[in-house]
Chain A
Amino acid sequence: DTAVSQTPKYLVTQMGNDKSIKCEQNLGHDTMYWYKQDSKKFLKIMFSYNNKELIINETVPNRFSPKSPDKAHLNLHINSLELGDSAVYFCASSLWDRGLGDYGYTFGSGTRLTVV
């Protein structure tokens, strides 16, 4: 009964490869996110989708492409992987909020991507 699940948990791949990370939530949330945690543990938002619509797209290379087939899934596809892409990628979900009321994220356990 995992709330936000990511697969795979670990991913080791060579430079230049294309890889995908999958995320699914069963909380009934309508907004999903991808965050990147670098080697210094700094967390930064990459993308956010609300009801399958892209609402946040931070300065991320075009090699990163999120895809949301429905509001319970948000996958991250990365083309032509580079050494600098090595990081932990976290998926999260929440309920869209117009600035009031309960608000918070539920995070997945992360995917550790290592590019060699």
Chain B
Amino acid sequence: AQSVTQPDIHITVSEGASLELRCNYSYGATPYLFWYVQSPGQGLQLLLKYFSGDTLVQGIKGFEAEFKRSQSSFNLRKPSVHWSDAAEYFCAVGALYGGATNKLIFGTGTLLAVQP
């Protein structure tokens, strides 16, 4: 069965420091992978996605993620964190349903806190 694991429930980093949020997935075929961000009281915003091709994908707000098939991972990175990046981050895999990829399976999220 498809699943997504985000091992870190809560991470605190200092403003200006680098960030890496971990995501591991379980999926039988080539996965469609996503990172979403949820600010307090807000909906989910798509940061970036991977379908195929270059394994390093660039997203909005200076985020990037690298797909590593051998490790079943899709970790999110940012070289320098800003205080406004404090939010909940969700990794998700697009799962096949009825022959098409139209169901997202989410990880449990990582809450990012940013210290001044």
Contacts and interface: CB of A to CB of B under 8 A. Distances in A.
Contacts of A107: 36, 43-45
A27 interface: no
Contacts of B100: 96-99
Contacts, number: 69
B102 A97 contact: yes
A42 B42 contact: no
Nearest to A44: B106
A interface, how many residues as a size bin?
20 to 34
Given A55-B98, A99-B96, A105-B46, A42 B108 contact: yes
Nearest to B90: A43
A56 B51 contact: no
Given A31-B102, A42-B109, 11 more contacts: A41-B38, A41-B88, A43-B90, A45-B105, A48-B102, A56-B97, A56-B103, A98-B101, A99-B100, A99-B101, A107-B44
Interface of A: 4, 31, 35, 40-45, 48, 50, 55-56, 90, 94, 96-110
Interface of B: 32, 34, 36, 38, 42-46, 49, 51, 88, 90, 94, 96-106, 108-109, 111
